[in-house]
């Protein structure tokens, strides 16, 4: 039996459509005025963690429970691509990134392997909590944990739908050492 891990993707950010915004600290499109929708999907008591970015942190604060900010819950760092239009980055650069197995060389930020390592380290630490764990985070982090737990390929993980504000329940079973 693993740890009950509730992963909440942040609500929709205010942004210009078509931009790369991994670790850009974008505001929410609408304020979180009522967290009842999320609280109804969570256990009565839980340990709460959040990415430091405001699009996550503001929802975590609305859950009205003590919250631990953890940078390991940040979205993938897209380096020099942050804030650029995907179209301006171009198909050739994106294809090279995919062909490199999502290495950081293409954009100077973080590799997908580094994202997997940091999310696994966070989940391993969070598993020490005596309570179920709630994390308000980003699609990349959630997909990374899902891929690791289920043995999914990168394509399977990227194709997994994660609407803004959705809650994903994962029975986290850490990999054996």
Residue 152 has pLDDT above 70, yes or no: yes
> 83-92, pLDDT tens digit by residue?
999 999 999 9
Tokens linked to 8: 């909440």
Residue 162, pLDDT score: 97
What number is the average pLDDT over the span 127-138?
95
pLDDT (tens digit, 9 = 90+) per residue, 39-65?
999 999 999 999 999 999 999 999 999
What dihedral do alpha carbons 17, 23, 28, 29 form, nearest 10°?
Answer: 0
The model carries a pTM of: 0.94
Domains of the chain: residue spans and CATH: 3-135+152-172 (3.40.50.1240)
**What are the backbone angles phi and psi of residue 18, rounded to the nearest 5°?**
85, 10
Asked if 73 and 48 count as a contact pair (C-beta separation under 8 A), the reply is: no
Residue with tokens 């380290």: 121
Residue 134: pLDDT over 60: yes
- In contact, 50 and 73? CB cutoff 8 Å: yes
DSSP letters, 140-156, are HHHHHHHHHHHT--HHH
How far the first Cα of the chain sits from its last, in Å, is: 17
The burial class, CB within 10 Å (0-12 / 13-18 / 19+), for 83 is middle
pLDDT higher than 60, residue 176? no
| Average per-residue pLDDT for the chain | 94
Q: Which residues pair with 28 in a beta bridge?
A: 13
pLDDT tens digits, residue range 8-40?
Answer: 999 999 977 899 999 999 999 999 999 999 999
């Amino acid at each position: 039996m693993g740890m009950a891990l509730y992963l909440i993707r942040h609500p929709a950010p205010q942004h210009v459509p078509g931009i790369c915004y991994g670790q850009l600290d974008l505001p929410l499109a609408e304020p979180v005025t009522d967290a009842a929708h999320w609280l109804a999907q969570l256990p009565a008591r839980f340990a709460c963690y959040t990415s430091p970015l405001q699009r996550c942190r503001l929802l975590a604060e609305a859950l009205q429970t003590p919250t631990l900010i953890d940078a390991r819950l940040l979205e993938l760092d897209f380096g020099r691509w942050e804030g650029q239009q995907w179209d301006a980055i171009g198909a050739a650069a994106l294809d090279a990134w995919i062909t490199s197995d999502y290495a950081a060389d293409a954009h100077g930020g973080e590799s997908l392997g580094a994202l997997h390592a940091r999310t696994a380290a966070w989940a391993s630490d969070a598993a020490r909590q005596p309570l179920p764990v709630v994390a308000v985070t980003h699609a990349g982090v959630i997909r990374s944990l899902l891929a690791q737990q289920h043995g999914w390929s990168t394509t399977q993980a990227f194709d997994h739908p994660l609407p803004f504000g959705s809650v994903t329940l994962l029975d986290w079973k850490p990999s054996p050492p």
